[in-house]
């Protein structure tokens, strides 16, 4: 049986848990979480111990948690390697209908957010583009100029 690991904001600390009910679809819903008594601060160290929890039949306390308390389960020590344009409809949507290869890119861990947390966009800044120029209205950027 698969475990759905969650990270959530408690009253004073952040907890890890196993989702013990159906996942929420709105921030107003609440879920039941089996709290893992773990002092792991990163997903990387927790994953190494999940099998131990599972085999031990960990029966932590069940807590009812608001969906708005759920945090991104990935911690800031992760590296995200992404694959884009991996489906024909994604490629067409990005106007790459004649793609020759999938797009591989990375994302900063600071781009992560919880399922129902607001997405905060940074202030708009000029972006050097290798193909297609800059955003309309931005001064051209010469990446070679330093």
| pLDDT at site 128 | 54
| pLDDT at site 59 | 67
In a domain? residue 44? yes
CB atoms within 10 A of CB 54: 12
Alpha-carbon distance of 28 to 43, in angstroms, equals: 26
pLDDT tens across 121-140, in order? 777 766 555 555 554 554 55
**Average pLDDT rounded to a whole number, residues 26-31:** 94
Query: What residues make up the domain containing 39?
Result: 5-71
H/E stretch holding 48: helix 43-55
In a domain? residue 15? yes
pLDDT tens across 75-95, in order? 877 788 888 776 777 677 777
Q: For the chain, how many structural domains are there in total?
A: 1
Give the chain's end-to-end CA distance (angstroms, integer).
53
Alpha-carbon distance of 7 to 71, in angstroms, equals: 5
Quick check: 27 and 65 in contact, CB under 8 A? Answer: no
Q: Is 31 exposed, middle or buried (0-12, 13-18, 19+ CB in 10 A)?
A: buried
In a domain? residue 29? yes
pLDDT tens across 58-79, in order? 667 899 999 999 998 888 777 8
In a domain? residue 83? no
Quick check: 67 and 116 in contact, CB under 8 A? Answer: yes
pLDDT: which is higher, 101 or 19: 19
Proportion of the chain above pLDDT 70, given as a percent: 76
pTM score, whole prediction: 0.63
Average pLDDT, the chain: 77
């Amino acid at each position: 049986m698969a475990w759905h690991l969650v990270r959530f904001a408690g009253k004073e600390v952040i907890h890890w848990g196993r989702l013990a009910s159906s996942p929420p679809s709105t921030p107003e819903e609440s879920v039941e979480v089996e709290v893992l008594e773990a002092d792991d601060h990163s997903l990387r160290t927790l994953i190494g111990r999940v099998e131990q929890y599972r085999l031990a039949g960990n029966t932590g306390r069940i807590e009812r948690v608001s969906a708005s308390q759920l945090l991104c389960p990935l911690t800031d020590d992760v590296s995200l390697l992404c694959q884009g344009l991996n489906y024909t409809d994604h490629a067409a949507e990005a106007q790459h209908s004649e793609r020759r290869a999938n797009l591989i890119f990375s994302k900063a861990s600071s781009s992560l957010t919880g399922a129902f947390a607001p997405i905060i966009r940074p202030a708009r800044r000029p972006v050097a583009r290798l193909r297609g120029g800059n955003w309309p209205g931005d001064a051209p950027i010469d990446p070679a100029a330093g």
